[in-house]
Structure 1
């Protein structure tokens, strides 16, 4: 169970992961050593699972965001495992979720443009024998994207 100090630590780290231990400790009214000890404990408990740089996709010429609904042709563990292993290796697939309803998966995919997305679907996904259907929804505008979890 997280106490108030742990929650304050996590809020601060979510907004500024590169903050120095001294500044972080000061922000949550702890000294450096107990603050660092708490961070290490949260990492060991897998509450903190990594530190990442937030990049602007547009600055990297990644201008198209697509949500693709995927239905597998077989409802088997083997087909699901093969699909998940395949899409995990594809760098343009940012997220893969098992969903309920008429589709089996929801993929979040980023691409340079619509033409490159089309090529991705044809060559990276469309050729897989265990995929029955792919329905794509192109994001016209992303109003916001939160990276911080509510604590």
Structure 2
């Protein structure tokens, strides 16, 4: 069952999404609370799984991955075993940084990074296309990210 969030909880989440390292005193000041109630609310959000974890947001471009692509995958069949096989195989591929099972036209949506367009083409033909059960794939390359993280 979803947790009901009030305006302060949502402000806490927005600040932490922008700066997960924000010290509690600063967080409390920015959301209009004193430090103790602020820390209590953060702990409740963590305990209820609303805050799933903390981590560094890495810029793939700074690591030599200048291209991001969204790759839609169609499998030859829809059975559970084939899907599990595909999930296991993409789990081994470091270029796949995000993967989703989809309802609708295709079976999976992957977010893939590569050093350049040639590297992306090579990764698709040498890795993705060789996974047993992959029928076809279509690739979309975003031109500009206009929104990063946020809750309504």
TM-score, normalised by the number of residues in structure 1: 0.88
Instruction: Classify the secondary structure of the residue corresponding to 1:132.
Output: strand
Partner of 2:70: 67
Please state how far the C-alpha of 1:99 moved relative to its aligned partner: 2.2
Q: 1:89 to 1:69 in 2, by over 3 A?
A: same
Query: Secondary structure in 2 aligned to 1:95?
Result: strand
Structure 1 runs (4+) deviating above 4 angstroms are none
Q: Which runs of 5+ in 2 are unaligned?
A: none
Mapped to 1, the partners of 2:32 and 2:106 lie a distance apart of 49
- State the aligned residue count: 149
Show the counterpart of 1:146.
148
Deviations 1:92-118 (A, max 9, x none): 112212223332111111110122212
2:24 corresponds to which of 21, 26, 39: 21
Give distance in 1, aligned partners of 2:77 and 2:8: 48
Does 2:46 correspond to 1:46? no
For residue 143 of structure 1, report the CA deviation from its aligned partner: 4.1
**Alignment check: 8 A CA contact 2:89 2:131 kept:** no
Kept in 1: contact 2:75–2:107 (CA 8 A): yes
The RMSD of aligned alpha carbons is 1.7
Unaligned runs of 5+ in 1: none
